[in-house]
Amino acid sequence: ALHEDAAERLDFVRIQAPSRRPPSPAMASPDGLELLAHEEPEEDWLPCVREWLVQEGCAAGGLVNPATGRLYAAAEEESSDGARRLHASSHIEKQYTDEGKFYEVVVDETFGLRVACRGRVVDGGFWLGGKKHHISVVERTTISAQGAQVPVTVVLASRKDQGIYLCVLERHAVLGMFAGPPQDQAYRARKAVVSFAEHLYRQGYS
């Protein structure tokens, strides 16, 4: 269970996106979920994502490698391809200043998700599925697993009638999306994400 008194507001840190894209999953260091990708086919994880996230009220969900930001084993309510809602290819967006001027930024959602797992936001904002979200809360808290209090970071990012929760362990992260009014759907998504993270830890995936 989450300890609510451990919540803290996000201290935004602007991070310059890299000039080149992060290494592809095939080239990345086999850490965290990259290692799982070599040991077990992605299809083996999809039933877990459906059971722990989609069937528990998330509109879509998946696993993330915090070291790379790579979304993994994504599923949604009506399809196994949850990546359609949770990820978009790199694209250029205009960012406006207070003076009304604008500049262009390259949005790399994989890199943005990697930074979000650390409770931060890249220059240009946090984008997911081609849509900009506002990271409003980061909780440095604990979950209960195997009789221990395990430190995690829980991130909330939202936009109008949509949002996501991230629960970040040391080498793994769980992502769950909610759709609809936050007061109706956000709690279910948060509960599902945290429960799945507890399950992963009990299974040895810290």
Does the pLDDT at position 38 exceed 70?
no
For 119-163, write each residue's pLDDT tens digit: 999 988 999 999 999 999 999 999 988 888 999 999 999 998 899
pLDDT at 81: 58
β pairing state of 91-96 and 102-107: antiparallel
Pairing between β-strand 14-15 and β-strand 121-122 as defined by DSSP bridges: parallel
Residue 125 to residues 33, 40, 193, Cα–Cα distance (Å): 25, 33, 23
pLDDT in the model for residue 175: 97
Q: Mean pLDDT throughout 67-78?
A: 89
pLDDT of residue 82: 59
pLDDT digits (tens, 9 = 90+) for 51-64: 999 999 999 999 99
Please compute the mean of the pLDDT values over residues 83-104 and round it to a whole number. Answer: 87
pLDDT (0 to 100) of residue 4:
42
Whole-number pLDDT of residue 154: 97
Least confident segment among 38-47, 64-73, 145-154, 183-192: 38-47
> 150: buried, middle or exposed (CB in 10 Å: 19+, 13-18, 0-12)?
middle
Cβ neighbours for 79, distance < 8 A, ≥ 6 positions apart: none
Q: What is the mean pLDDT of the chain?
A: 80
| Pairwise CA distance, residues 154 & 165, whole Å | 7
Q: What is the pTM assigned to this prediction?
A: 0.78
Round to whole Å and give the CA distance between 170 and 152.
8
Residue 32 has pLDDT above 70, yes or no: no
Q: What angle do CA 169, 201, 39 make, to 5 degrees?
A: 90
The 3-state DSSP class for residue 129 equals coil
Across 47-52, average pLDDT: 94
Share of the chain above pLDDT 70, in %: 77
Q: How many CB atoms lie within 10 A of CB 16?
A: 9
Model pLDDT, residue 143: 92
Query: Is the per-residue pLDDT at 93 higher than 60?
Result: yes
